[in-house]
Amino acid sequence: MTVIAFERPRSAAKSDRRARIIDEARRLIGEHGFEGLSLRKLAAAAEVTVPTIYNLIGGKEKILNELFADWVGMIEQELTKIDEDHPLDKAEAVVVVATRMIGENKEYFRSAHIAADHIERTDQSVDEWKQLGSRSASMQENAARLAQEQGLLRGDVPARVLGEQIFANYRVASSSWTYGRISLDRFRHDGLLGVYLYFLSDATEAFRPVLLKKLDDLKVQAVGSD
């Protein structure tokens, strides 16, 4: 009993320090970009020591990976609020929630995405980013599998393939926004377009009209935002 009473406060304090580090890293990247993030500045802002940052999380690249992992976790949490009987709502929510969160902190997300893109291309720890990508794609895969189980999709295309392709389409839109080629509204539009088109590729005849209506509505929204 003595050990349990002691470990709980330690664990809580550890979680609190980690949360402060993550929150301050997000703020500093938003204000100064990833290149402007130093562990010394981060330690001072989070009121911890540099060794504590290394012990709890790691270096700058690991911190960035953790920031993205936390973001994915927040999206996953939002999906739990949607009923299992509405798989298309879940697939849409991945795009809608992600772009909404980006819109709330554009400078941070742009800087973080640019840094992550560079690290994925040049860093040896690429496996961690691949795992994060697989975790992200699995949200769409799970939505597609639910749709197949409920008879909305035929199942001719594996749910894994649908999830991977929807996520790949999202990544293209994300990159285009990150480097200033499209607006955030267009990013959201293109992400949803991928959801509808890939679902349509495997849709049952009864479900096709729902998806075609979604495409028509998306077209109207795109015209209205021009």
Average pLDDT of span 16-25: 94
Query: Do both 134 and 24 map to the same domain?
Result: no
Query: Do both 121 and 35 map to the same domain?
Result: no
pTM of the model: 0.87
Give the CATH number of the domain where residue 183 resides.
1.10.357
Average pLDDT of span 173-194: 97
Q: Name the token pair of 103.
A: 């819109």
Query: Do both 113 and 192 map to the same domain?
Result: yes
Which helix (H) or strand (E) segment holds residue 43: the answer is helix 39-46
Query: Do both 2 and 100 map to the same domain?
Result: no
Q: Structural domain of residue 36, as residue ranges?
A: 1-58
How many separate domains does the chain show?
A: 2
Least confident of 9-13, 77-81, 186-190: 9-13
Query: Do both 27 and 92 map to the same domain?
Result: no
Query: Do both 67 and 51 map to the same domain?
Result: no
- Alpha-carbon distance of 169 to 171, in angstroms, equals 5
Average pLDDT of span 20-40: 94
Query: Do both 103 and 161 map to the same domain?
Result: yes
Contact 144, 91 (CB under 8 A): yes
Query: CA-CA distances (angstroms) from residue 190 to 9, 67, 168, 197?
Result: 46, 24, 11, 10
Question: 25 pLDDT exceeds 70?
Answer: yes
Query: Do both 193 and 205 map to the same domain?
Result: yes
Least confident of 161-170, 202-211, 214-223: 214-223
Q: Name the token pair of 74.
A: 């927040």
